[in-house]
Amino acid sequence: MRLPAVSGEWIDRSRSVEFRFEGRTYKGYEGDTVTTALWGADVRVLGRSFKYHRPRGVLSLANHDTNAIHQWGDMPNLRADVTPLVAGMDLTAVNTFGSLENDKGRILGKLSRFLPVGFYYKAFHNKRLFPMWERMFRVMTGLGRVDVSAPRKRTPKAYDFCDVLVIGGGAAGLSAALAAAAQGADVVVVDENARIGGAAGYQLGNDATRRRTHAELLACVAAEPRIRVVTATYAAGYYKDHWIPLVSADRMVKMRAGSVVVASGAFEQPAVFHNNDLPGVMLASAAQRLIYRYGVKPMQRAVVLAANADGYRAALDLLANDVAVAAVVDLRPTVGSAEPLARLLAQAGVEVLTGSCIVEGVADAAGLCAGARIASLGADGKPVGAEREIACDGILMSTGWAPAANLLYQAGTRMRFDTAVEQFVPDVLPDGVFACGRVNGVFGLERKLADGARAGSHAAAAAGFGSATGDALPPEAECPSHPWPIVDHPAGKNFVDFDEDLQYKDFCNAVQEGFDNIELLKRFSTNGMGPSQGKHSNMNGLRILARLTGKAPQQVGTTTARPFFHPVPMSILAGRGFSPERRTPLHSRHEALSARWMPAGVWQRPEFYQRAGESRLDCIRGEAAAVRGGVGIIDVGTLGKLEVIGPQAAEFLERVYTASYANLKVGMTRYAVMCDEAGVVIDDGVVARLAEDHFYFTTTTSGAATIYRELSRLNTMWRLDCGIVNHTGAFAAVNLAGPKSRLVLAKLTGLDLSAAAFPYLAVREAEVAGIPARLMRVGFVGEWGYEIHVPANSGGALWDALMAAGSAHGIRPFGVEAQRLLRLEKGHIIIGQDTDGLTTPLEVGLDWALKMNKPFFVGQRSLAAVGRLPRRQKLVGIRFPADHVGPVPLECNLVIAGGEIAGRVTSIAFSLAVGCHIGLAFVKPELAETGTRLDIRLTGGSLVQATVAAAPFYDPENLKQKEAA
Amino acid sequence: MSAHLALSPVADLVAATLLPPEQQAAAAATLGIADRSDLARHGCKGPGAAEWLVARGLPIPPAPNSWLPLDDGGRIARLGFTEFLIEGPVALIAPLAAAPRGPGVYPVLRQDAAFVLSGSRLDELLRQSCSVNFRALDLTARPVVLTSMVGVGVTAIPELCAGRPTLRIWCDGTYGHYLWETLLDIAGDLGGGAVVARSID
């Protein structure tokens, strides 16, 4: 039912909004949330609980009503309590079998005795039954449906900056913002609600003064140009250097602040009594929000359970808005500072019962709240004496608060439990982080304003604006939270965690089973592991554990509060989705030749070139055959291309590579292996000496960036007289390979290409097609060939010239797959494919590349030590019979010996040149002898046999690199 | 290596994405992005680089990560302490690139993709693409920013051109397509688009 319009309400009653819920049509107003529109339409069951499928209504109306989660089209898990109402919405409650009204999952409530605490642990303990439980849980659990065909939302992230970020737009936060702005700081106030003002706008106690204070505060903020207010946005986490992700419905803003004021307030906490989850039982602050923000009457007749003055104010707010208050039931023996409020209530005929409790909520036939059964509280905190039932359709709970301190924890704040306020408060705050208001243990409205002004001033000063003024306030005179708002009940269903349907007895049983540490208890019981992440259960869970173990709350401690504060939609996390991609200067040429692309690190490389009517395999084999029989060309521009220049350039390379380079002649190249400190192979390439003090060298495609960074680090450390230049992207490079490669190149250069003038492993600088180039005679693919490097913007011209010159010789571009096959025939390894994060050169046949007699190279000492130990494994060639039929292993399939893992395949392919499948595999040293037969397990589990064979498989004498070839 | 001064690594892409001429002025006022990769440039680094450049008549920005305009057009940017990027007329750059390297001078072949962005919504694009607070920079100090933009390492110079906020960026040319496409996508969302260089530079 709607109330008459109230001043400052958030809904626009002139704009009606029609929507559907569970197949029925309703009307709300613009400004409503889904919950407030439904509650205003007298819908009391908004969802079902997770485990027992109990009907649930409003609890917090503060983004934590995780039993009222709805699906709208392709949008799962909308929190109805805060999701703005949109015309045309067609909503259904999640986690129901059938419908919300006739949910077949209700049966689980009757089976609760068979679902003890730690049920997951116990179910999965039995290995035999594991698959059955897994299948069942996958059906039973999970909220909402993901529509994988839903179009991607555009949710660009953005960075933002401010001097002072104030998290929380309540009285303390706004006061902090005003104080910081007054000192000249650029301030941003972020609040998750649709409007700022916080509790000051609804915890009124029908008090005109409070209403005026609230209005004046908003007016001051609106008039301050240095304050930016960001609403409907929450601070989702805290990252170092005051970096805060601010999440709204559309995007994430990464806010970098000079300093941060956390004025995030406190979560009102539920009391624990039998049936405390009936629709109609809600937090007092939820009822006040319904009234003052949305003009919704929370109930007709209420019982208020209180343990602080806030409860009395809530009762007065109810009375002022035409809700009958049957009684105020106060857990405390006296009303304390609420005495004036209690008098007003008494004058209105409201019964105030101190030293009393609610033993249980009474349900009607529909499962809705119909009454409260109350009793006196004994000295031991348990109900005593006769019970009495009071008819009501709603119960308000106002027994205490828990600080919204998640961000403070994430920032590294040391917290302490303060018994004066029965909550954790900041003890030591990190530099640049400040706290005020309820999260700081300050509750009175005037005190919150003063605390906010202090925090704002200090935060501005920390950001470099003005001087810090104001000191910490003295403690609260009266505790706002009851230390034990919990009543046991033989029938249970006194819920501590509403997300997971955890009852008081579940905690007792968990502790009895030995899970008496807060972190263990959390995981065993799943307390705080639901969608609200314990915002309404962690504090009571902590109190229960403390009492059961005889500890103080400080000793029990809290669980870790990790980002994010609320669940963040995947689309928001994804943002625009930046995926950097590099293209070589020859990309367009490959496109024109119908390249099929494959990722290689951040690069896109041609896997092969598609030919009409040919399969992928035929294309790859055809490309390889062209290289073996004629001439092929491949883009190798993705290789890392570095230079080291200076008098100590050779000394630098001596230190970073395993071989010798001081004795490398100008005009020659040498294979280069790089290890880390542990002697593990991390990269390889070719070093070319262009001048006495000038080397040009390549790295692997994937290693270019990291190797350059590492070499720069080493050079900085060693302080040698040389410099490193990263030219990876500045040069285009191709490998022209095949017996006819020399004929092709000869058409384009005046360079003497004879073996005598330009021998194998030589490097030359000359013009090719009029383009200044560096040429290296290398043999990675096992044929006579030239790696030609030119400035990137000449790459296209070079490619075109080579293709034109080679056309008469049947030149064919080849891709990565053909190159992999060709190098495998030659027995050349690929770092990262034929090695892993533990492989040393000694295991892959690179002993020859180690100059252990050098004074030093990175990894040398480790290799000396490793060299004295027996090998763990050895990389060997393998081949299959030429008449092999059936499947062959895939890379990473295991070698099996004696029923145990004895190695793995690292590379495998069919070689036309060799006439069978060939490969490389790691095997135990005792299996490495040529001719040894290996059993290799296929993915399906069957075994195939291969034979250890000598590599290279092709041209083992390297005759292809000699003039006679 | 001699200088290669002609081709842009994104020339084809830019040509395919340019707005129609009649839309360019409006886009440039809002957020225009133009390709300047074809400008001549040269780089050098090393402990002798500053002295080597002075000997060739070039001014040296006194502070690291700052830049100076050149008399005949173009600019010299100091990247950190001992690295320099010079961009300007071919008549200036070609001799630099062809000159023999001196002691402690390590030539850097610059084959960048270089873009200019300008317009009233530039700051919004920057806030979507880069974690540096460009608003806080003092442009009179001619700052140079070495940072990451949409995941790509860039050198950036913010300035006011004809009163309009403008940003010049340089990146490894092999990232050029990705950077252009990504920034253009953002610019398009903000009401801008690809324009010819003379519209904004």
The interface pTM score, or ipTM, of the predicted complex is 0.95
Q: Is residue A508 part of a domain?
A: yes
Could you give all domains of chain B from N- to C-terminal order, each with its CATH number? Answer: 11-39+110-199 (3.30.1360.120), 40-108 (3.30.70)
Check B135 against A161: CB less than 8 A apart: yes
pLDDT number for residue B4: 38
Question: What's the rounded Cα separation, in Å, for the pair A62 and B120?
Answer: 39
pLDDT number for residue A115: 81
Inform me whether the C-beta atom of residue B90 falls under 8 Å from chain A C-beta atoms. Answer: no
Inform me whether the C-beta atom of residue B91 falls under 8 Å from chain A C-beta atoms. Answer: no
Inform me whether the C-beta atom of residue A117 falls under 8 Å from chain B C-beta atoms. Answer: no
A157, closest residue in chain B (CA to CA): B128
Q: Of A576, A588, A637, which is closest to B12 when you measure between CB atoms? A: A588
The kind and range of the H/E element at A208 are: helix A208-223
Same domain, A79 and A217: no
For residue A935, the domain's CATH number is 2.40.30.110
Inform me whether the C-beta atom of residue B11 falls under 8 Å from chain A C-beta atoms. Answer: no
A643, closest residue in chain B (CA to CA): B106
- For residues A329 and A353, the answer to whether their CB atoms sit within 8 Å is yes
Rounded (to 5) percent helix, strand, coil in chain B:
35, 30, 35
pLDDT number for residue A964: 65
A581 to chain B, minimum CA–CA distance in Å? 6
Same domain, A3 and A141: yes
Same domain, A202 and A304: no
Phi, psi of A721 (to 5 degrees): -85, 75
Q: Is residue A858 part of a domain?
A: no
Three-class secondary structure of residue A144 per DSSP: coil
| A725 contact residues in B (CB cutoff 8 A) | 45, 106-108
Check A158 against B109: CB less than 8 A apart: no
Inform me whether the C-beta atom of residue A240 falls under 8 Å from chain B C-beta atoms. Answer: no
Q: What is the DSSP string of A554-572?
A: HHH-----PSPSS---HHH
Same domain, A378 and A433: no
Inform me whether the C-beta atom of residue A587 falls under 8 Å from chain B C-beta atoms. Answer: yes
Same domain, A1 and A130: yes
Same domain, A617 and A722: no
Q: Is residue A314 part of a domain?
A: yes
For residue A753, the domain's CATH number is 3.30.1360.120
Same domain, A413 and A379: no
Check A580 against B151: CB less than 8 A apart: yes
Relative to beta strand A723-726, strand A640-645 is antiparallel
Q: Which two tokens stand for residue A118?
A: 């730690």
Q: Is residue A767 part of a domain?
A: yes
Peptide bond before residue A97 is cis, with ω within 30 degrees of 0: no
Same domain, A874 and A913: yes
Check A729 against B175: CB less than 8 A apart: yes
Check B189 against A156: CB less than 8 A apart: yes
Cβ partners under 8 Å of residue A830, min gap 6: A700, A820, A823, A907
Band of the pLDDT at B24, cuts 50, 70, 90?
A: very high
CA atoms within 13 A on the CB side of A398: 26
Q: Is residue A341 part of a domain?
A: no
A694, closest residue in chain B (CA to CA): B106
Inform me whether the C-beta atom of residue B6 falls under 8 Å from chain A C-beta atoms. Answer: yes
Question: What's the rounded Cα separation, in Å, for the pair B172 and B179?
Answer: 10
Question: What's the rounded Cα separation, in Å, for the pair A71 and A92?
Answer: 5
Of A253, A150, A408, A395, whose CA–CA distance to B124 is shortest? A253
For residue A56, the domain's CATH number is 3.10.20.440
Check B186 against A156: CB less than 8 A apart: yes
Q: Is residue A822 part of a domain?
A: no
Residue that terminates a domain, selected from A110, A145, A180: A145
Same domain, A206 and A276: no
> Does this model's pTM top 0.95?
no
Question: What's the rounded Cα separation, in Å, for the pair A400 and A479?
Answer: 9
| A723 contact residues in B (CB cutoff 8 A) | 45-46, 104, 106
Interface of A with B in 241-260 (CB under 8 A): 254, 256
The residue to which tokens 């920390």 are assigned: A462
A722 to chain B, minimum CA–CA distance in Å? 7
**Which sign, positive or negative, has the C-alpha torsion A395, A396, A399, A401?**
positive
- For residues A220 and A169, the answer to whether their CB atoms sit within 8 Å is no
Q: Count of domains in chain A?
A: 7
Q: Is residue A152 part of a domain?
A: no
- CA-atom Rg of chain B in angstroms: 17
B107, closest residue in chain A (CA to CA): A725
Check B104 against A646: CB less than 8 A apart: yes
Q: Which two tokens stand for residue B93?
A: 């750059």
Domain that holds residue A928: 870-965
| B178 contact residues in A (CB cutoff 8 A) | 580-583
Same domain, A90 and A21: yes
| A792 contact residues in B (CB cutoff 8 A) | 9, 111, 173-174
Check A256 against B133: CB less than 8 A apart: yes
Check B9 against A725: CB less than 8 A apart: no
pLDDT number for residue B2: 36
Inform me whether the C-beta atom of residue B15 falls under 8 Å from chain A C-beta atoms. Answer: no
Same domain, A696 and A777: yes
Q: Is residue A851 part of a domain?
A: no
pLDDT number for residue B1: 38
Inform me whether the C-beta atom of residue B164 falls under 8 Å from chain A C-beta atoms. Answer: no
Q: In which residue ranges of chain A is pLDDT below 50?
A: 965
| Interface mutation target, options B1, B5, B145, chain A, most CBs of A under 10 Å | B1
Same domain, A19 and A137: yes
